[in-house]
């Protein structure tokens, strides 16, 4: 049985919407910046989307990732994914599957409370602590408190808009208007 965190004076942290969109060989991951504790905005400009892995010839990494959930847990997962990318020569799918296996079976990792959207030039995935490595339908994925709003908006826009970044930004704007745990301070990364 799960305990109610408020019974111990703890207020759950909320707030994140992350969306990933692939269109025309371009993949974008966008995330809002709000971190809330109960009904208080604790930080409006958190950076929940970032580049991970080793830099290429241009100085940029070829993998982008966004997280929803506990920050320390997400950074642990970012570090683990970077190690897997190193181990499997930058193969995102293979590294993600291996991370998901570890995440599901390792007692420490199993308690991490986060979800991730990860992408490279060829792949867009959602990773969960249940051991899931999901390729989204229609090359659009969203996670977090406003994820369903962003996902619905992006799917509706996909028939009318060809640009991945435009879809992601407009979908995030819709989520920010509806979800009280989502704001319009975006971090956007593209591969």
Query: Is the model's pLDDT at 9 over the cut of 60?
Result: no
Q: Which residues contact 20 (CB under 8 A, 6 or more apart)?
A: 27, 28, 29, 66, 117, 119, 124, 126, 136, 140, 141, 142, 168
Residue 4, in any domain of the structure: no
Residue 6, in any domain of the structure: no
- Are the CB atoms for 122 and 116 separated by under 8 Å? no
- Least reliable range by pLDDT among 122-131, 135-144, 161-170: 122-131
Angle at 41 between CA 35 and CA 44, to 5 degrees: 60
Residue 125, in any domain of the structure: yes
CATH code at position 108? 3.60.20.10
Residue 77, in any domain of the structure: yes
Instruction: Name the active-site residue from 16, 17, 27, 182.
Output: 16
Residues spanned by the domain of 122? 12-190
Residue 2, in any domain of the structure: no
For residue 132 the two structure tokens come to: 């899931």
- Please report which confidence band the pLDDT of residue 135 belongs to, taking 50, 70 and 90 as the band edges: very high
Residue 102, in any domain of the structure: yes
Give catalytic status of residue 16 as yes or no: yes
Q: Work out the number of other CB atoms within 10 angstroms of the CB of residue 143.
A: 26
Q: Is 1 exposed, middle or buried (0-12, 13-18, 19+ CB in 10 A)?
A: exposed
Residue 157, in any domain of the structure: yes
pLDDT tens across 84-99, in order? Answer: 999 998 899 999 999 9
| Beta-strand relationship, 17-23 and 140-144 | antiparallel
What's the pTM value of the predicted model, to 2 decimals? 0.88
Instruction: Return the axis-axis angle of helices 71-87 and 92-105, rounded to nearest 10°.
Output: 130
How many domains would you assign to the chain? 1
CA distances in angstroms from 168 to 19, 23, 42, 75, 153, listed in the order given? 6, 11, 24, 23, 9
């Amino acid at each position: 049985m799960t305990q109610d965190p408020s019974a111990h004076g703890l207020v759950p942290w909320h707030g994140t919407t992350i969306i990933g969109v692939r269109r025309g060989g371009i993949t974008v991951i966008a995330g809002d910046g709000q971190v809330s504790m109960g009904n208080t905005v604790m930080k409006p400009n958190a950076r929940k989307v970032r580049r991970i892995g080793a830099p290429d010839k241009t100085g940029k990494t070829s993998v982008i990732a966004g997280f929803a959930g506990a920050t320390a847990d997400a950074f642990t997962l970012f570090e683990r994914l970077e190690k897997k990318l190193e181990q499997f020569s930058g193969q995102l799918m293979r590294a993600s599957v291996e991370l998901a296996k570890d995440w599901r079976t390792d007692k420490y990792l199993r308690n991490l409370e986060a979800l991730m959207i990860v992408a490279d030039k060829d792949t867009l995935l959602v990773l969960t602590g249940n051991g899931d490595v999901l390729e989204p339908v229609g090359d659009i994925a969203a996670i977090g408190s406003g994820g369903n709003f962003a996902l619905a908006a992006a799917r509706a826009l996909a028939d009318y808009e060809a640009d991945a970044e435009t879809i992601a930004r407009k979908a995030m704007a819709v989520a920010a208007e509806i979800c009280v745990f989502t704001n319009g301070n975006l971090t956007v990364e593209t591969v």
